[in-house]
Amino acid sequence: MSYLLQQLVNAVPIAALYAALAFGYALAFGMTRRPDITYGALFAFAGQVFLLFAHIGWNRLFLVLPATLALASAASLVYTATVGSGIARHVLRPLHNASTNAVIVASLALVLLLSEFMRLSMNSRELWLSPFLNGRIVFWRQDGFEVGLTVIQLGSAAFMAGLVAVGHAVLTRSRLGRAWRAVADDPRAARLCGVDADGVFVLSYVSAASIAAICGILATSYYGSMDFASGLLFGLKIVLIAAVGGYSVPLKSALGAALVGLAETLWGGYAPLLWRDAAIISALVLLLVASRRERPLP
C-alpha cells in the first residue's frame, strides 16, 4: 500500500509538467492546426539557456545561488519568448497564411536550427545544475516506509498547476480568451468581426513559448540538466496527447496529459522501465487512430 501511495505521489510532478506543456501546446496548435515539433525544441532550448546562464552567473560572475538562478531564469524566459515571437512573426504566420502544411516542414528546420545554436553556444558540453531545495517532505509513514516528495517537486508541481488554472481562467473569462477561441474556430470569420487574427496568432505562440520556457526552467531545476533528445521526446508525447484531445479546449489537453503522466509513473514503478516510452507512445498512437474522425471532402 505504501509503495503504491509513493508511486501516486511521484506522478504529481510529471503529471503537472505534462499538463502545463499540453496546455501551452494547445494554444499554439489552435492557431496553426498542424503538428509542430518546434514546441518540444523550445522546451529544451529554455532549459539549456537556463543552464548556460546559471553556469555564467556562478562561475564567471561569482553570484550567490539565488541571484544565479534569478539571472538564469530571466535570461531563459526572455530568450525563449523572443525566439517564439520571431518564429511566429517571420516563419509560422506567413507560411500558415500561404500553405498550412508548410508549417510541418518548417518545424523540422527550426528544431535543427535551435539544436545547433545551443550546441555551439555550449561548446558541445553537457552542463549540470547542483541540487537545491531537495529537502524531503513526508506525508505518510508506515512500518519504516516514508511517502513524500522534495520541496522542489512540490513547488514546481504547484506552480505548473497554477499556470494551467490561470491560463484556463484567461481563456474562459477574458476578452482575449474569446478572441483566441474565435480565431481558433474560424480566422476569416474572426477578421470579419474585427478581431486582429494575426495579432492573436503571434500572442498565442508567444504565450505557448513562455509556458514552454517556464516548464523548461522548472524541469531543468529538478532533473539537473536538459538536452534536445529529452525535449523532443517530451514534445512528441505532447503532440500526440493534444492531437487526441483536440485543440478547442486546452484544459482537456492538460487533463489528458496529466493522466498520461500518471500512467507513465505507474509503468515505471511496476513494469520494465526500458519499454516505458515505447509503450506510452504506442498507446497514444493507437488512441489517436481509434478516435480519428473522418471529415467529408469540401
Query: Which residues have C-beta within 8 Å of that of residue 129, sequence separation ≥ 6?
Result: 51, 54, 220, 221, 224, 225
Number of domains in the chain: 1
How high is the pLDDT of residue 285? 79
Q: What percent of the chain has pLDDT over 90?
A: 51
Is the pLDDT confidence value at 296 over 60? no
**pTM value?**
0.91
| pLDDT tens figures, 61-106 | 999 999 999 999 999 999 999 999 999 999 999 988 888 788 888 9
What is the chain's mean pLDDT, rounded?
88
Query: Which whole number is the average pLDDT over 5-32?
Result: 92
> Would residue 298 count as lying in a domain?
no
How high is the pLDDT of residue 153? 94
> Would residue 63 count as lying in a domain?
yes
**274: which DSSP letter?**
G
Question: Worst-scoring range by mean pLDDT, 6-15, 18-27, 179-188, 245-254?
Answer: 245-254
Residue 232 · residue 111 · CB < 8 Å: yes
Residue labelled with grid coordinates 509542430: 36
User: Using CA atoms, how far apart are residues 38 and 177, in angstroms rounded to an integer?
Assistant: 23
Write out the residue range of the structural domain in which residue 188 sits. 2-134+142-291
Which CATH number fits the domain that encloses residue 37? 1.10.3470
User: Using CA atoms, how far apart are residues 234 and 38, in angstroms rounded to an integer?
Assistant: 11
Is the pLDDT confidence value at 143 over 80? no
Amino acid at residue number 176? L
pLDDT-based confidence at residue 141 (cuts at 50, 70, 90): confident
Q: What is the dihedral of CA 202, 206, 207, 212, to 10 degrees?
A: 140
Question: Worst-scoring range by mean pLDDT, 47-51, 229-233, 259-263?
Answer: 229-233
Give helix 175-185 / helix 2-32 axis angle, nearest 10°. Answer: 70
| pLDDT tens figures, 212-225 | 999 999 999 999 99
